[in-house]
Amino acid sequence: SLKEKWILREAVRPYITDELYKRRKNPFLAPTRWPQGGALHRLFQGLLTREAVEALGFLDYAVVEEALERAYSLKGDTKAFRTLVYVGAWVTLRERFGVKKANKEDWVSQAKVRGNQAEAASQSFDDGRYSMK
């Protein structure tokens, strides 16, 4: 059977043990649950405050608040965790680069520029689709 990364193995052969050279690849699986009150949970709690999320202008804080609860529940909801990662990235980018708060007029004007239907964009902004207000 073929070993993965054969070229890399051959390149480092003189520098590694036989055990490393001959071993099979073992996949790395990231954790699917994170401890409530742990370092990552505390990081998100500090980063994803009501003020920080509302300063984005296009997310409903209640969605983020619920994701914080679900991601760190006993079941460890991975979809909720993914939401926290995305929102955390947006908050960080806004804070680091001074991005102004999004508003409906910007959303609609960008839809027009891209050739989308401004009415549909306006409606999705108003009715809360995709976690928007």
pLDDT digit string, tens, across residues 112-127: 777 655 555 555 555 5
3-state SS, 109-121, equals HHHHHCCCCHHHH
Pairwise pLDDT comparison (81 vs 29), residue with the higher score: 81
The whole-number pLDDT of residue 23 equals 85
The whole-number pLDDT of residue 29 equals 81
Rounded to whole angstroms, the Cα distance separating 131 from 67 reads 11
pLDDT band at 132 (very low <50, low <70, confident <90, very high): very low
Rounded to whole angstroms, the Cα distance separating 51 from 45 reads 12
The whole-number pLDDT of residue 37 equals 95
Share of the chain above pLDDT 90, in %: 54
